[in-house]
Amino acid sequence: MVRGVHGKAPDLESYLPERLVDEGFRWQTLARLLAGKLARKVTGGRVAPRWPQSVVAYYGPIAVFDKPDHHVGGLAFGRDLPRVLNELGIGRRGRVFEFCAGPGYIGYSLLAAGWCESLVLSDVNPDTVSAARFTAAHNQLEDRVVVYCSDALDQIPAGERWDLVVGNPPHFPQANPDARMYDPGWELHRRFYSAVGRHMNPGGLVLIVEQTRGSDPKLFEEMIRAGGGELRAVHPGTDIHGEPNGLYYLLSEWPGVSGSRGPGSRIGSRRPTPSAGSPEPVSHPRP
């Protein structure tokens, strides 16, 4: 189903043009960042500068706050998800939830781009939850953004309902030096797909990014069906040059909870179909 999807995952440098870095930062700032990186590498993380929470990204008018090393690809995916949604023909949705949100790079990016009216974020790490809440308060978005500290979906209130779920969960089932990229036996994925249907509005969509080196879409399709959803597309990821980058996006549709409202918009003018290296044309609505 993902024939032709191969290559390396995107490097952060692909999303940070050299000219932007050169013109946007003083040499003293770059030297300080380099010194901190070398200190962490040489000492295995035992020695590292202690930086306060600070602005890490701007999405339109929204300043997103974070602490060093909190994101795991989030900076890249926050800028990439709007393009993927357009490629899949997914327009504006009422309420969006970001799973494994960290500081909320993806969710805040979609909110800033007008893809949703309200946003829900959750993560198991209290530090990143604190950063996500600080972002909401700083940007005066507390009436539109809710942030939960939750292990999988266990602490999400039963009454929460979503029209679109996005997420960048751990990509590997085996041991990894970075525990944030490690989902032993895919247990987190199983818990997520078994519970997400209870929070979906009718026709709600779930779009999760995965990595070809770490997983097989057929495994997740079984989890989706067991949870009550249907796989609609396996969409290959590409870099800024349109080349395969080793990622793929799983899009599933869910019947939703009886009695809850439906989503504000459908997927273009039709349901998406499973895509491979050369997906068939779809409409590209603007949010």
Predicted confidence (pLDDT) per residue in 200-209, tens digit: 999 999 999 9
Contact 146, 173 (CB under 8 A): no
Q: What is the pLDDT of residues 27-79, one digit of tens each?
A: 766 676 677 778 777 877 666 555 556 677 888 899 888 876 665 555 666 67
Structure tokens at 66: 């974070």
Structure tokens at 150: 């939750």
Helix, strand counts (H, E) of the chain: 7, 9
The confidence score (pLDDT) of residue 1 equals 40
Task: Give strand pairing partners of 172.
Answer: 182
Q: What span, in angstroms and rounded, lies between the C-alpha atoms of 117 and 69?
A: 29
Q: What is the pLDDT of residues 65-91, one digit of tens each?
A: 887 666 555 566 667 788 899 999 999
Query: pTM for the whole thing?
Result: 0.74
